[in-house]
Amino acid sequence: MHQHLDHLHPYPFQKLSALLRDVTPPADKPHIALSIGEPRHAPPAFVLQELSANLDSISRYPVTRGSDNLREAIADWLLTRFKARVSADTQVLPVNGTRE
């Protein structure tokens, strides 16, 4: 193994779990889970409608480059959020499934 792997920090949610291990919330207050987990609420109706309308394409992986619309939306968000102007065609590459 690489010599620097020992210097990596634990995954943030593992660290959060360790920090909260001995914490007991007040009995008169509702618990608010701030950890990673499964959704506990029904998805919005429009999401279910879009999924249903596109079931024919759900079994195919998207191209690595992503759609033009997705890359443009990402570039627009970067401009709005960080005032960072990037080219959707040459500087945006979606990466699904990354954690950090």
pLDDT (average), residues 17-38 = 82
Mean pLDDT across the chain: 86
Q: Is the pTM of this model over 0.85?
A: no
Place of tokens 């618990």: 31
**Which band of pLDDT confidence, cut at 50, 70 and 90, is reported for residue 68?**
very high
Q: Letter for the amino acid at 80? A: T
Give percent above pLDDT 90 in the chain: 42
- List of long-range contacts for 94-98, beta carbons under 8 Å, 24+ apart: 94/65, 94/66, 94/70, 96/62
